[in-house]
Every structure is written in C-alpha cells, then in structure tokens.
A and B are shown apart, each in its own frame.
Chain A
C-alpha cells in the first residue's frame, strides 16, 4: 500500500522555467491538497480539490496552477518559477468530512529555484 506518492523527490530549476509536480494516491480519497513548507512557517495550503473535477485556492495560490486529472491524481504546475518558490512541496489526501478527517501525506518534493 503506497499511500501518497510524489514525483520527483528533488528538482533544481532556473528562474523562469516551468515544471509540474505529480501526486497520486491509492486510498480512494476524494480530497487532495498541495502545501508548501518553509522554515518556521508550518505548512501553507496552495490549492485543494474536494473531489474529482473541482479545485479551489488556498492561502498562497499565486504563481501556481493545479489539475485534478482523476480521482487518484492531483498535479501542481509552476508556469514561470521564481526564487521565492524555493520550498518543500507536500501533497496530501483525505476522506471527505469537513475537516475532521486526518490527511495522509507524501514524502515531499524539494524544489530549488536559482
């Protein structure tokens, strides 16, 4: 049982390049999330998808786009990377339940933008 799988694990980009972070879950969860983690700031929500076909902005959506490809997959795209987007990105999934369901996290993508 893999849980939540993120690819790639590490990536270095140059300013202005684009890339897509991939996330897939095999727990049949409806809800999926993208977070970024920066030192001393906990995790901040970028986008979430309550169910297949829907996406909503979180706390820090600027500079990002998402696609909920199907129930399993939720990708995050940086169209024109900026140094401020250097961070560790986590994907998570959960059952529906208005916030009282725990989230299951991938191991993260460490992204550096030069």
Chain B
C-alpha cells in the first residue's frame, strides 16, 4: 500500500539554526514527491518537487530536499531558519495515479 508519513507533527528551531523536516514514503511505484508550505489562512504553496530527475532538489526560499530511494525518504532542509519560515509543511506523494498528503509538520521559529 502507498503511504506518506511525516515523522514530526511539530518542530521548533531558533532563528538562524538549521531546519530538518522529515518525510518517509512507502510505494511500489516510482514516486513523485512534493513539499508544500501553508501559512495561516492561506492555501498550499509549492516549495519543491522530485520527479525522477536529480535526487537533490532545490526549491524556493532556500529550502532543499534529497530523495533517498534506499531509505524511502524525502526530508526537507534549510541551512538557516528565518522567522518567516514559521508555517505548516506538507509532504505529498503521487504514484500509481494516487496522491497522498502527509499529516503536516508545524514549524515554529524562535527569535
């Protein structure tokens, strides 16, 4: 069965420190994977996507993610958090004509 799991419901970091948001997937298909960000009272905005090209994907606002097939992971990282990064982040899997959203990780950034 296909699934996507975001391993942390909440992550808290200090401004200027690295961000790591973890996502694992399960699939017998070649997946496409996306990270979206949602700010309060807004829709989801695409950060980056993996669709079987380069395994290290760079996105907007300094975010990047690495597709690791052996670990079935697609973790989102950023070297230095900014206050404006505080939001909810969703990992999304598509494969076999199915799209599955992770439950979300809320990122808190402390001054």
Residue of A98, A99, A107 with highest tally of chain B CB at under 10 A? A99
Q: Give bound CA distance, A41 to B95, whole Å.
A: 20
> A45 vs B42: C-alpha distance in the bound complex, in angstroms?
18
Q: How far is the CA of A106 from the CA of B41 in the complex (A)?
A: 11
Task: Say yes or no: B41 contacts A107, CB within 8 Å.
Answer: yes
Report Cα–Cα, A34/B104, bound state, in Å: 18
A contact residues, total (Cβ < 8 Å)? 19
Answer whether A41 and B103 are a contact pair too, CB < 8 Å, given A98-B97, A99-B95, A100-B51: yes
Q: Which residues of chain A in 20-51 are interfacial with respect to chain B, using CB atoms and an 8 Å cutoff?
A: 40-45
Closest to B91 in A: A42
Least CB separation from A33: chain B residue: B99
Nearest Cβ on chain A to B33's Cβ, whole angstroms: 10
